Amino acid sequence: MRTRVGYAGGNAENPTYKEMGDHSETLQIDIDPSIITGEEVLDLFWDLHSGKQHGYRDRQYRSVLLYENNRQKEIAIERMKKWEKKKGHLIETEIAPLTSFTLAEDYHQKYRLKRYKKVTLSLLECFKTHEAFNHAMLTARLNGLASGVGTKAGIIKELKQSVHMPDQQEQLKLIASLKW
């Protein structure tokens, strides 16, 4: 799994944080379906997400779930209806097609993790570039850990289960050496 923050859901060209146009701030999640399914991610989303628009007048902070194909749309609507029944209220989250995704500026990527300067420096040494750092599954997980989600042991277990990771042993050594 990897996560990246960016701007999507609008038509303005080349959005930035200061000039977002009609886009919204979004989180893009790429998953490994052998570890977690899209349906499981949606259930986590609906469980943790209020589904309210909270009176925002502009689109920057709107509640939106973007899909890439008709199957994802069907699943998103199906899961939303399930969670409306479970929560007992209407979910206001807009479900719309993803037409483009623009990465947010580097300072927005892995924001919580970057508060731990020593950890970030160690990770940057391992990944060599900010792009590799921002796109790595390990940094996505550690960003979650820095936000209070997950455990170091859980991250290690997931790394050991990931069969598509050529630098797995190096990352396992790295996470064991990190000092928060």
pLDDT in tens, the chain (180 residues): 788 899 999 999 999 999 999 999 999 998 888 888 999 999 999 888 877 777 767 788 888 999 999 999 999 999 999 999 999 999 999 999 999 999 999 889 999 999 999 999 989 988 888 888 988 888 998 999 999 888 989 988 888 877 666 677 888 888 888 877
Structure tokens at 83: 């969670």
Number of domains into which the chain is organized: 2
Kindly state whether residues 80 and 40 are assigned to the same domain: yes
pLDDT at 111: 92
Kindly state whether residues 99 and 135 are assigned to the same domain: no
Residues spanned by the domain of 99: 2-103
Kindly state whether residues 142 and 81 are assigned to the same domain: no
pLDDT at 176: 83
Kindly state whether residues 58 and 140 are assigned to the same domain: no
Kindly state whether residues 99 and 121 are assigned to the same domain: no
Neighbour count for residue 115 (Cβ, 10 Å): 12
E strand intervals along 17-171: 24-30, 64-67, 94-97, 101-103
Kindly state whether residues 128 and 63 are assigned to the same domain: no
Give the Cα separation of 95 and 64 in Å (integer): 6
pTM: 0.77
Question: H/E element holding 141?
Answer: helix 137-146
**Coil/strand/helix, residue 97:** strand
Kindly state whether residues 79 and 118 are assigned to the same domain: no
pLDDT at 166: 66
Give the Cα separation of 96 and 72 in Å (integer): 10
pLDDT at 112: 93
Given 55, 80, 103, the domain boundary residue is 103
Q: Are 24 and 9 a contacting pair, CB within 8 Å?
A: yes
For residue 122, CA distances in Å to 47, 113, 173, 176 come to 34, 12, 12, 12
Kindly state whether residues 155 and 74 are assigned to the same domain: no
Neighbour count for residue 149 (Cβ, 10 Å): 12
Kindly state whether residues 128 and 48 are assigned to the same domain: no
Given 68, 103, 138, the domain boundary residue is 103
Structure tokens at 11: 């038509």
Given 103, 132, 165, the domain boundary residue is 103
For the domain that residue 28 is a member of, what is the CATH number? 3.30.1060.10
Among residues 90, 129, 100, which one has the least CA distance to residue 26? 100
Kindly state whether residues 76 and 136 are assigned to the same domain: no
Kindly state whether residues 75 and 93 are assigned to the same domain: yes
Kindly state whether residues 95 and 147 are assigned to the same domain: no
